[in-house]
Amino acid sequence: MELKCGQIVRSYSGRDKNTFLVITEIRTDCVFICDGKERPLERPKRKNLKHICPTNFRLSEKQMATNRELRRAIRDLIPQSGA
């Protein structure tokens, strides 16, 4: 699956394992991801491509404008277990 900015991905490894994050920048060997809380837009995390699993959800630029909007969009699009 081709990765795009704004796409929601799931982390497979690291401290953020099993969390959903949004791609903010794509490079050839890695992506930069944010969740609006632990990783705000001002401080994205560099993540290796083989350590993420893409989803079919994608956010608009408006949903990625602020950390609050980003958190809200992830919460609304991704079903939470146990809810």
Pick the CATH number of 7-77 from 2.30.30, 1.20.58, 3.30.780, 2.60.40: 2.30.30
Nearest alpha carbon to residue 71 among 37, 23, 33, 41 = 37
Block mean pLDDT (10 aa), the chain, length 83: 92 93 96 96 96 94 94 87 45
What is residue 79's predicted lDDT score, i.e. its pLDDT? 76
pTM, two decimal places:
0.89
The domain spans of the chain are 7-77
Within 10 angstroms of residue 3's Cβ, the number of other Cβ atoms is: 12
Chain-centre distance for alpha carbon 4: 11
